[in-house]
Chains A and B, each alone.
Chain A
């Protein structure tokens, strides 16, 4: 039945080349752990993406209960974690996944570095990868404030004070992030917006560029 549905659509829209182009290509032997087990180091990029997808999905579900407001944020997180079935799991996925994504991204970066994969003609992909790295750090920083507990509050205060120490423009950066004079209601809504809309949007654009470039240029050759 699914085959006939697929065929019906394919006849009209010719979708086969679309997914063939994305999915149907050979993995070179030197990056396939089935051939050389040590090639597992080539998995870290894919693992980073896998965890990123989990982060996006779990984050979407968390916003079903979360309220970005200084009075209600902590209570809503407490509620979704302790009163909702599987709340511990969903928030746990997002909480621990955030750390794991950094770990995987770091290992991926090490692999790219030590296999020399950043060299010509793939320099631009290294640069885009670095942008993704900074976006991820931004996501971690902004997400940390959202539970609005003591740890969140002071981490943000310290972080913004570090940003404020930038010569000349530091004060403006701090004002922009605080959205006022203190870590308060406007900081929380700002960080929520940045965490949930701005940075994920940028992240998805950068990931698209990352993947288009790697498909265009192919995986770098064996050492």
Chain B
């Protein structure tokens, strides 16, 4: 076999690495097809996945209560936040349980139970705990999960300006 090839190369003209007409046409056709498919599909894909790429807007801080009114005993505060849902802008009410810890720092807990999302309340059973009415989940004053739930209550970002407490977005509990 190799012998045979060797003989052939003597007599044939030098082979240039030239693209055949057929190959050129199939590359051209393939390239054009890829361009047209890409040009059609890419805009639609970008259109569809926009929510994945959109940056979650930083939650604006909302003034909720005078700092001097916050006590060691958690109290419920309700406040309104602007909510943008596509082409609808609205106000939605949020609830926080706000109190001071042993060192006097103000913190605010979200009352959404980390078990299945019911709303917890402070001290309904008189044990100085947050109690969930749905499945009896309980949390300490710091929001630490005592029973049923797997995670501590979420916290709000707290900021204090000019004697007022401002609340921002929800973050995982930092008091554990």
Number of interface residues of A (CB under 8 A): 14
Contact, CB under 8 Å: A178 / B88? no
Whole-angstrom CA separation of A176 from B48 in the bound complex: 8
Whole-angstrom CA separation of A167 from B54 in the bound complex: 21
Whole-angstrom CA separation of A186 from B49 in the bound complex: 12
Contact, CB under 8 Å: B52 / A184? no
Whole-angstrom CA separation of A186 from B88 in the bound complex: 10
B51 at the interface (CB under 8 A from A): yes
Whole-angstrom CA separation of A178 from B50 in the bound complex: 11
Total A-B pairs, Cβ < 8 A: 31
Contact, CB under 8 Å: A70 / B52? no
B43 at the interface (CB under 8 A from A): no
- List chain A residues, Cβ under 8 A from B48: 176
Contact, CB under 8 Å: B52 / A186? no
A182 at the interface (CB under 8 A from B): yes
Contact, CB under 8 Å: B86 / A175? no
B163 at the interface (CB under 8 A from A): no
Partner of A175, one of B51, B85, B87, B88: B51
Number of interface residues of B (CB under 8 A): 11
A-facing mask of B34-58, CB < 8 A → 1, else 0?
A: 0000000000000011011010100
A181 at the interface (CB under 8 A from B): yes
- List chain B residues, Cβ under 8 A from A182: 83, 85
Main secondary structure of the interface of B (DSSP, over half): mixed
Nearest opposing residue in chain A for B49, CB measure: A176
Chain B contacts with A in 56-107, Cβ cutoff 8 A: 56, 83, 85-88
Contact, CB under 8 Å: B52 / A185? no
How near does chain A come to B174, taking the closest CB pair, in angstroms? 21
Contact, CB under 8 Å: B49 / A184? no
Contact, CB under 8 Å: B51 / A176? yes
- List chain B residues, Cβ under 8 A from A70: 85, 88
Contact, CB under 8 Å: A180 / B51? yes
A179 at the interface (CB under 8 A from B): yes
- List chain A residues, Cβ under 8 A from B56: 181
Nearest opposing residue in chain B for A171, CB measure: B52
Contact, CB under 8 Å: B86 / A180? yes
Contact, CB under 8 Å: A185 / B86? yes
How near does chain B come to A194, taking the closest CB pair, in angstroms? 10
Whole-angstrom CA separation of A180 from B85 in the bound complex: 7
Given contacts A175-B51, A180-B86, A185-B85, 12 further A-B contacts (CB under 8 A): A71-B88, A175-B52, A176-B48, A176-B49, A181-B56, A182-B85, A184-B85, A184-B86, A185-B87, A185-B88, A186-B85, A189-B86
> Would you give 24 A-B contacts (Cβ < 8 Å), ordered by A?
A70-B85, A71-B88, A172-B52, A175-B51, A175-B52, A176-B49, A176-B51, A176-B52, A179-B51, A179-B86, A180-B51, A180-B54, A180-B85, A180-B86, A181-B56, A182-B83, A182-B85, A184-B85, A185-B85, A185-B87, A185-B88, A186-B51, A186-B85, A186-B86
Chain B interface (Cβ within 8 Å of chain A)? 48-49, 51-52, 54, 56, 83, 85-88
